[in-house]
């Protein structure tokens, strides 16, 4: 599954660390920026990533990072086929995939360590949606959009 990653200026260092981790594991990804820690507006990076996931929600996943994780998560969830989850532990990342079929992982760079971020990414990438009783609930998320 193609993986996209983006951040704002507050998340650049954590994004770099995660890209190094992904490189080391041989996991292909596309870095949508930014390349520096110069101040940027998080929607300018969250919208392109979320738009691409929205177009192919079962084929593309993403990782978004900002200072609190809230801004990128709110922006991404404006798209009907996106299920972005703000997580700060590996357990929450796994549950977001298992129960909510999350297709974008949002991380709060200012509030978690690099180790916790890596563990959350591992859980997100290695956990499948359980379906079953959760499928009906997930189907109701985009209702009315």
Give catalytic status of residue 66 as yes or no: yes
Give catalytic status of residue 17 as yes or no: no
Residue from 9, 66, 73, 106 carrying the catalytic annotation: 66
Q: Is 139 exposed, middle or buried (0-12, 13-18, 19+ CB in 10 A)?
A: exposed
Rounded to the nearest angstrom, the gap between the alpha carbon of residue 57 and the centroid of all alpha carbons in its chain is 12
Q: Does residue 87 contact residue 93 with C-beta atoms inside 8 Å?
A: yes
Residue from 9, 17, 19, 99 carrying the catalytic annotation: 99
What does 15-67 look like in DSSP terms, one character per residue?
A: HHHHHHHHHHHT---EE---SS-S---THHHHHHHHHHHHHSTTT-EEEEEES
Distance CA 54, CA 25 (A): 26
Return the structure tokens found at 90: 């590996």
Tokens 């959350």 identify what position? Answer: 120
Active site residues: 66, 99
């Amino acid at each position: 599954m193609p993986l996209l990653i983006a951040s704002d200026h507050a998340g650049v260092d954590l994004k770099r660390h995660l890209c190094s981790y992904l490189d080391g594991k041989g996991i292909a990804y596309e870095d949508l920026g930014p390349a520096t820690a110069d101040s940027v507006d998080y929607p300018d990076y969250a919208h392109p990533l979320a738009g691409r996931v929205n177009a192919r929600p079962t084929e593309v996943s993403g990782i978004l990072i900002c200072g609190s994780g809230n801004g990128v998560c709110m922006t991404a969830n404006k798209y009907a086929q996106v299920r972005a989850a703000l997580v700060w532990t590996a357990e929450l990342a796994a549950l977001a995939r298992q129960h909510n079929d999350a297709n974008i992982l949002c991380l709060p760079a200012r509030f978690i360590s690099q180790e916790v971020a890596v563990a959350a990414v591992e859980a997100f990438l290695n956990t499948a949606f359980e379906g079953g009783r959760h499928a009906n609930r997930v189907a109701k998320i985009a209702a009315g959009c």
